[in-house]
Amino acid sequence: MADAITVRGLRKAYGKAFAVDGVDLDVRVGEVFALLGPNGAGKTTTVEILEGFRRRTSGEVAVLGLDPQRADKAWRARVGVVLQSTGEFDDLTAREVVHHFANYYPGAADPDEIITRVGLAEKQHDRTRTLSGGQKRRLDVALGIVGRPELLFLDEPTTGFDPEARREFWAVIRDLRGAGTTILLTTHYLDEAEALADRVGVLAGGRLIAVDTPAQLGGRGEGGATVAWTSEDGPKSERTDAPTALVAQLSERFGGEVPGLTVTRPSLEDVYLRMIGSPEEVTAA
């Protein structure tokens, strides 16, 4: 199986409005694919169709070789899902919840090992109602990976995590990828997509407008750089397609070190915002 996910002409209509409008998508086996887009772009609808939670209006979808609308329990045991909110288990401890969910899978991982991997070892005997928002999110992730899924869907997985916890979770994702797990990730954190994803896709208005590596998305790799420095007259900057040559000229001019020298290229966030519209449009979406 060359691709874990294959989508052709996917559409989902609500009345006359299309939440997803003709999406074609391939996610390769073993890769981390990040699906980006503003609120209302169609990310959640697309992912829920791939997970088998929502029926499509038209199009062809194959996930691990099967149509998720017709998939059976054996297929579901191969798929892990981390929703934006899994649910509440107020009267159970975190350990009890993970051990309980492990029983649903024929080849589940060691629940205690999973608890440790997501950073809940010190909280495993606490009732889930006492956990913080970030700790509950870690529990959601534990439930998504305890079944050793071939394909893992992660919907905004690090929402509520502090910076240190996010970096720790990234290590978990890298470990899963290294073990061969295919991961489809949705996130609003562009640094997260850049750190984790082999490729990213950008959804806007229900359409997939670009797919590429984070480094090459939107021509980012070929885009010009901005060289900035401090001259006798104050701060200066120049956009150029040949930054090395410009830096060499400046170095000769200043006789060595160039005061205040910086060379920057468009960030993934810069390219993303340019592709989907202005920040004001993103907020309104």
In whole angstroms, what is the distance from residue 62 CA to residue 65 CA?
5
**3-state secondary structure at position 20:** strand
Is 149 inside a domain boundary? yes
What are the pLDDT digits (tens) for 185-197?
999 899 999 999 9
Is 278 inside a domain boundary? no
Q: Say what the pTM is.
A: 0.83
What are the pLDDT digits (tens) for 233-251?
899 999 898 889 999 999 9
Is 274 inside a domain boundary? no
Alpha helices in the chain (DSSP H): 43-51, 73-76, 94-102, 111-117, 133-145, 163-178, 190-196, 243-254, 268-276, 279-284
CATH of the domain at 117: 3.40.50.300
Is 43 inside a domain boundary? yes
The domain in which residue 241 lies consists of 224-264
What's the pLDDT score for residue 281? 39
What are the pLDDT digits (tens) for 62-82?
999 999 999 899 999 999 998
- Structure token digits, residue 179: 């073990």
On whether both 128 and 229 belong to a single domain, the answer is no
On whether both 144 and 233 belong to a single domain, the answer is no
Residue 184 phi/psi, 5° resolution?
A: -110, 120
**How many domains, in total, are found in the chain?**
2
Q: Which of 213, 87, 101, 175 is nearest to 183 (CA)?
A: 175
On whether both 82 and 67 belong to a single domain, the answer is yes
In whole angstroms, what is the distance from residue 138 CA to residue 170 CA?
12
Type of residue at 14: Y
